[in-house]
Structure 1
C-alpha cells in the first residue's frame, strides 16, 4: 500500500473529524497502532507496572525506613551472668589503665609523706622546743603509740611467752644500767661503731623480710632477732651513758625528755626482738 507524498486535506483525511475552526488539528494515532500509556493515579507508577511487566523480586522496603540488620548484637560473654568473671575483667581493665595506677601510687605516697612530715614535726618539737609542757604532751602521745604497737605485736604470741619476755627484758635493762654506772668503758666515744651496728640491723631486716615473704626460714628469723636484741642492748648502754653525762659525749640537762624517749625506745625494741626468740622456741 502506497502513501501520497503530501498530506491530504482535512476533509479528505477523515470525515469524522472535521477541522476545528481557529484551532489545531487533533493528532492521529501512533504509526503502527501503538496505544497511548494510561496515566497512573497520583502521577506515580504502581509496583509491578513497569514496561514488560517485570515483577518485583521479594518486594522492596518502604521508602525512608532503613533495613533491619540481621547480625546479632554482641552482648558480651558474661551478659546476664553477674558472676565473678565480669568483676575480675573489670578489675583487670582498671589496673591496666595507667591513670588509675598513677592515681593509686600518688595517693599511697601522699599518705606516706604526711606520716613522715608528722614524724619529723614531732622530732623537731622534741629537739628544738624547750618550753614546757609541749615536750611532755608529745612524749605522752608517742608513748601511747608505742604501747599500742607493742600490744598489737604481743597479741600474736602466747601469754607465757609474753610474760617470760617481759621478765628477761627487765633483767637486761637493769644489768645494762648498773654496768653503765660502774664501768670505765666509754660507749659514747664509739659513735661510728654504733652507726655501723644500726646499718647492720637495717640491712639484715630488709633481707629477712624479703626471704620470709616467700618462705619461712626459722634460723634466719632467729638470727635477725638475736642480732636486733644484741644491737639494741648496746644502744641502751650508749644512751644510758649519754644520760649520765660523765662521758665524752652527753646530752644537755634540758633534754631530759629526749633522753627518756631514747632509753624507752631501746627497751621496747629489746622486748620485741626477744619476744620473737622466746615465742618461736
Structure 2
C-alpha cells in the first residue's frame, strides 16, 4: 500500500482556522468587500495550483507504472530485483518526511517541485510493482472506478454544506485500525478478511478525499483549512488518497473475481 501518514504531524504550520470575520461578512451580504474578493481569488489560485500538481502527479505515476505492468521484460526485472521496490519504498518515505517536516524543502521553488516529482516517481514504481500482480481487466476497472469516485467525491466535498474538516481524528483512528487489522490479515490470510479490508480501505480513503479536498478548498463551511502556501502538501495529501483508493479498489475487485 502506498504511503499515507496516519494523521498530520504537529510540525505542519499549514493548518489555520478560517477567518470567521470574513464568514460573517459573507453571511450578511458583504461579499463585495475588497478583502473578501482578494481572499477568494487567492484561494481559487491555490486550488488550481494544487489540482494542477495533482494531475501532473497522476500522469507521472501512470507513465512510471505502465511499463512495469505492460512490458514483460520490465515486469520480470522488477519482480526479480527486490532492491528496486525497496529503494523506491525507502526513497518515497524519506521524500515524504522531508516535504512534511522541512518548511524550506516544501516552500523553496523549484526544489519543492523536484522533490515532489522524485516522490511521485518512487510511488509510481511501487504502484507499478503492486498493480502488475493483477489481471488487466481488474486494473482497468479499478482505474475507471477510481476516476469516477474521485470526481464524484470532489464535487460533493466542494458543494456540500457539511463540514468534514473536524473529522481528522476519527479518520486517523480508522486508518490505524485498518493497519492493525491488516497485519492480522497477513497472519491469518482469511479471504473474507481480505475482502473486508479492501472494501473498508477503499471507503476510508474515499472519506479522506472529502476531508482533504475541503481542507484545500476552505470556505465558510470549513472550520480548518490549508494555508495558501502549502500547495505541495495539499497535492501530496489528495494524491495519496487517490492512489490508496485505487489500490484498495483493485484488491477488492480481484477478491470478488476470485470468489465468483
Is TM (by shorter chain) over 0.5?
A: yes
The question of 1:211 aligning with 2:184 is answered no
2:237 corresponds to? 262
1:245 corresponds to? 218
Instruction: Write out aligned runs for 1:1-281 (5 A).
Output: 120-125=97-102, 129-212=106-189, 217-246=190-219, 247-280=222-255, 281=257
2:39 corresponds to? none
Shift of 1:190: 1.9
The alpha-carbon distance between structure 1 residues 198 and 211, as it changes in their structure 2 partners (threshold 3 A), is same
Separation in structure 2 between the aligned mates of residue 245 and residue 205 of structure 1, nearest angstrom: 33
Tell me how many residue pairs correspond in the alignment.
166
Separation in structure 2 between the aligned mates of residue 230 and residue 218 of structure 1, nearest angstrom: 18
Separation in structure 1 between the aligned mates of residue 155 and residue 92 of structure 2, nearest angstrom: 37
* 8 Å contact from structure 1 (residues 236, 267) kept in 2: yes
The alpha-carbon distance between structure 1 residues 149 and 113, as it changes in their structure 2 partners (threshold 3 A), is closer
* 8 Å contact from structure 1 (residues 189, 249) kept in 2: yes
Runs of at least 5 residues in structure 2 that lack an aligned partner in the other structure = 1-88
State the SS of the aligned residue for 1:186. coil
Show CA shifts across 1:136-157 (max 9, x none): 0010001101111111111111
- Greater fraction helix: 2
State the SS of the aligned residue for 2:165. helix
* 8 Å contact from structure 2 (residues 99, 233) kept in 1: no
Rg comparison, structure with higher value:
1
The alpha-carbon distance between structure 1 residues 126 and 232, as it changes in their structure 2 partners (threshold 3 A), is farther
Give the TM-score taking structure 2 as reference length: 0.59
Mean Cα deviation higher: 184-193 or 226-235: 184-193
Higher relative contact order (CA 8 A, sep 6+): 2
The alpha-carbon distance between structure 1 residues 250 and 128, as it changes in their structure 2 partners (threshold 3 A), is farther
* 8 Å contact from structure 2 (residues 99, 106) kept in 1: no
* 8 Å contact from structure 1 (residues 232, 270) kept in 2: yes
Give the TM-score taking structure 1 as reference length: 0.55
Runs of at least 5 residues in structure 1 that lack an aligned partner in the other structure = 1-111
* 8 Å contact from structure 2 (residues 185, 194) kept in 1: yes
